[in-house]
Copies of this chain bind each other. A is one copy, B any other.
Amino acid sequence: VDPDTRQRVLDAITTTGYRKNSIALALAKGGTQSVGVALSALSNPYFAELVTAIEADMSAKGSTLLLGETHEDAEREHDLVVKLLDRRVDGIVVAPTAGSAERALTVLAASSVPAVLVDRLVAPDRFDQVGSDNREPVARLVDHLAGHGHQRIALVAGLPGLATSIERRQGYLDGMARNGLRAAPGLTVEGASDGASAARAMARLWKGRIRPTALVAANNYMTVGVLKYLAAHGIRVPDDLALCGYDDFEWAELIASPLTAVAQDWATIGGTALEMLDARTRSPRAAPETARIPTTLVLRHSCGCTGPTTTEPITP
């Protein structure tokens, strides 16, 4: 370009206060430089980590994040996905709720927009997916509790139908089996993945026929619900009941008996999700890929351990 003409244009830009119109740009060339994120758990603390990771990667690429909440409801999730598609996002990241397969995922699969499933990995054959390993970590929690001598180890399981709930429950069963322990039906109670229902589930468990001496809670909210019940009823951790949870959180070390938990690596999950979106954009017909991100076992005191906190990677 002629340096003179260039300057003339640049001047015009500044004097006019010109700003590009991303809308017109998107219409003209197709491609909106944006990706949609549909989460079923906006209200969950770990959401912040995941979104932060995704946002960081996207803003580095000059792209924008469209965020929507599905409220763990297949219908709303479907509407959200359609809305995102209408907005012509370049890609979609979704943590599918129970029942997604018949609604949102069908629409997504039919569209040609790159999509990746996070956290709840329900369609390995149709979508790229990335999430934590769920099964082995819970089995390891059971191993650990069994190692402390516990035999009646209970599980407060998450919302039935969610992939994570199912996998973690399977891990519990694995753990009990390989430690020669009987996973009596009364030892498993179900909640709705939130604190209140976990507290109710805990009540049922405590009043049940076989009272456990140890317990694993299937996610952070349920751990909190259980802890609140225990605190309210003067049940001491780990003396009266040893406790482990899936999901670590910032305050886990500050609670009365510092929590032993499985920590997920959300930053890596978010980063991987975007990489997968990229890869799919480049080669749309490649075979779908599923990535399981390793977790970390954080041993504090609620399980019965004493001494300083230790950490160990869990490899599947």
Contacts and interface: CB of A to CB of B under 8 A. Distances in A.
Contacts of A68: 55, 59, 64-65
Contacts of A52: 42-43, 69
Contact of A21 (B42, B69, B88, B255): B88
B227 A20 contact: no
Given A43-B52, A254-B255, 11 more contacts: A21-B27, A23-B27, A23-B88, A42-B51, A43-B48, A45-B250, A55-B68, A55-B69, A251-B251, A254-B256, A255-B255
B55 A48 contact: no
A286 interface: no
A151 B49 CA distance: 40
Interface stretch (A78-86, A139-147, A176-184, A204-212): A78-86
Count copies of this chain in the complex: 2
B67 A55 contact: yes
Given A19-B85, A88-B23, A255-B254, A65 B64 contact: no
Interface string A48-67: 11011001100100101111
Q: From A22, A51, A224, A254, name the one whose CB has the most chain B CB atoms within 10 angstroms.
A: A254
A20 B86 contact: yes
A224 B254 contact: yes
A87 interface: yes
B49 A48 contact: no
A200 interface: no
Contacts of A56: 69
12 contacts: A19-B86, A21-B86, A21-B88, A23-B27, A23-B32, A42-B51, A55-B69, A59-B68, A62-B83, A66-B66, A251-B254, A254-B256
A32 B249 CA distance: 37
A228 interface: yes
Nearest to A249: B251
Nearest to A46: B48
A231 interface: yes
Interface string A215-257: 0000000001001100100000000000000000111011110
Contacts of A228: 253-254
B69 A66 contact: no
Interface string A267-284: 000000000000000000
